[in-house]
Amino acid sequence: MNNQQRRSILATIAGVCTLAGCVGTQSAVQSHSQRTEDDRSRSSDEQLNDAPSQSITTVIDESLKEATVNIVAEDEMRFDPQLVWIKSGGSVTWTNWDDHDRHDIVSFPDRIPDGATKFQSDRLTYRERFTHTFEQEGIYDYVCTPHASWMVGRVIVGTPEIGKEPAMTADNTALESGAAAVFTELNTRTQTIGTEPDCGCPE
Q: What is the pLDDT of residues 126-166, one digit of tens each?
A: 999 999 999 999 999 999 999 999 999 999 999 999 999 99
Q: Is the pLDDT at 47 greater than 50, yes or no? A: no
- 83: burial class by Cβ within 10 Å (0-12, 13-18, 19+)? buried
Q: Is the pLDDT at 53 greater than 50, yes or no? A: no
Instruction: List 67's β-bridge partners, or say none.
Output: 92
**pLDDT, position 60:** 53
Higher pLDDT, 41 or 130: 130
Contact 94, 148 (CB under 8 A): no
- Mean of the per-residue pLDDT values of the chain: 76
Instruction: Please state the pTM of the whole predicted model.
Output: 0.69
- Each residue's pLDDT tens digit, 79-97: 999 999 999 999 999 999 9
Q: Is the dihedral of CA 162, 165, 167, 168 positive or negative?
A: positive
Contact 60, 83 (CB under 8 A): yes
Mean predicted confidence (pLDDT) in 58-70: 73
In the chain, where are the structural domains located?
1-50, 64-192
Name the pairing type of β-strands 83-96 and 129-134: antiparallel
Element (H or E) spanning 63, and its range? Answer: none
**pLDDT, position 193:** 78
Mean predicted confidence (pLDDT) in 90-112: 96
Q: Predicted confidence band at 115 (pLDDT cuts at 50, 70, 90)?
A: very high
CATH number assigned to the domain covering 64-192:
2.60.40.420
Name the pairing type of β-strands 138-143 and 78-80: unpaired
Q: Predicted confidence band at 63 (pLDDT cuts at 50, 70, 90)?
A: low
**pLDDT, position 29:** 33
Q: Is the pLDDT at 8 greater than 70, yes or no? A: no
